[in-house]
Amino acid sequence: MARDGDPLVIAGSVIGDVLNPFTGSVSLTIVFNNRAISNGLELRPSHVVNRPRVTVGGEDLRTFYTLVMVDADAPSPSNPVLREYLHWLVICL
Mean of pLDDT values over 30-53 = 84
Cα–Cα distance for residue pair 90/88, rounded to 1 Å: 7
Is 1 among the domain residues?
no
Query: Which amino acid belongs to residue 24?
Result: G
User: Which residue range(s) make up the domain with 38?
Assistant: 7-92
Confidence of residue 1 (pLDDT cuts 50, 70, 90): very low
Q: Tell me, what CATH number does 17's domain have?
A: 3.90.280.10
Confidence class for position 31, pLDDT limits 50, 70, 90: very high
Cβ proximity of 50 and 81 under 8 Å: no
Strands (DSSP E) contained in the chain are: 28-32, 35-36, 53-56, 65-71, 85-92
Beta-ladder partners of 32: 35
62 vs 92: which has the higher pLDDT? 62
Establish if 32 belongs to a structural domain. Answer: yes
Q: How far apart are CA 14 and CA 74, in angstroms?
A: 12
